[in-house]
Amino acid sequence: MLEALEANYGYLFEEELLQEINSVGTCKDIPEGYKLIEIGDYIRSMPLLVSGAIKILREDENGDELILYFIERGDTCAMTLSCCLGQSKSEIRAVAETDTKLIMIPVQKMEEWLGKYKSWQKFILQSYHDRMSELLNAIDTIAFLKMDERLFIYLKDKAMVNHNDVIHVTHQEISQDLHTSRVVISRLLKKLAINGKIELQRNNIKVIDL
């Protein structure tokens, strides 16, 4: 695990902190589609992403989901941090977008390291800043962009976190993530294909205009 830590976080954390993470962290391999965090859960540990990607979603009172952002290698999730430190229930759902490797850090160590290591404090503050920027972008997208523009941004984001311009996703999955109907998504995908932004393949979508 130490080798993975050094590869992903060595430029951020001093050697002593890397050794502590290696000592107390728990390494987990998470398959694509696995639900890591559910709404209403108490969160006892914080994930550091070694590889893969996780999508963060909110749910309305009817049970419909809306994707907020993705977190990738070298990231963590600000909402996880706030729930851990505040000992409150999770208000988000976290699902593995791809096969993912995580190092889980106990909440007690998170608090201890904030006062002990400047690099950890800087990492946590930067993580809050990055996730807040992504939340603002998500709000702007919902408030100011038309659905076809939102859809194309969503497809580009999925292609980037999967490191592949060909993505495997159903129209139903897209409609759930974007909180709209499958019929609307199917119509807009055809429009994007006609405009040369994507190519619709059998069970796949190729993003052309990255």
Residue 61: predicted pLDDT: 78
Is the pLDDT at 191 greater than 90? The verdict is yes
Q: Retrieve residue 57's tokens.
A: 């979603």
Mean pLDDT, residues 143-158 taken together: 90
Task: Quote the tokens at residue 100.
Answer: 């993912």
Place of tokens 């904030």: 114
Task: Write down all domains in the chain, each with its CATH number in brackets.
Answer: 2-143 (2.60.120.10), 145-207 (1.10.10.10)
* Helix (H), strand (E), coil (C) string for the chain: CHHHHHHHHCCCCCHHHHHHHHHHCEEEEECCCCEEECCCCECCEEEEEEECEEEEEEECCCCCEEEEEEEECCCCCHHHHHHHHHCCECCCEEEECCCEEEEEEEHHHHHHHHHHCHHHHHHHHHHHHHHHHHHHHHHHHHHHCCHHHHHHHHHHHHHHHHCCCEECCCHHHHHHHHCCCHHHHHHHHHHHHHCCCEEEECCEEEECCC
Per-residue pLDDT band at 63 (split at 50, 70, 90): confident
- pLDDT of residue 210 exceeding 80: no
pLDDT, the chain, mean: 87
Is pLDDT above 90 for 16? yes
Confidence grade of residue 190 (pLDDT, cut at 50, 70, 90): very high
Residue 86, pLDDT > 70, answer no
Q: Is the pLDDT of residue 78 over 70?
A: no
Q: pTM of this prediction?
A: 0.77
Residue 83's pLDDT band, with cuts at 50, 70 and 90, is confident
Average pLDDT (168-183) is 90
Checking if the pLDDT of 166 tops 90, the result is: yes
pLDDT tens digits for range 112-139: 898 899 999 999 888 888 888 888 888 8
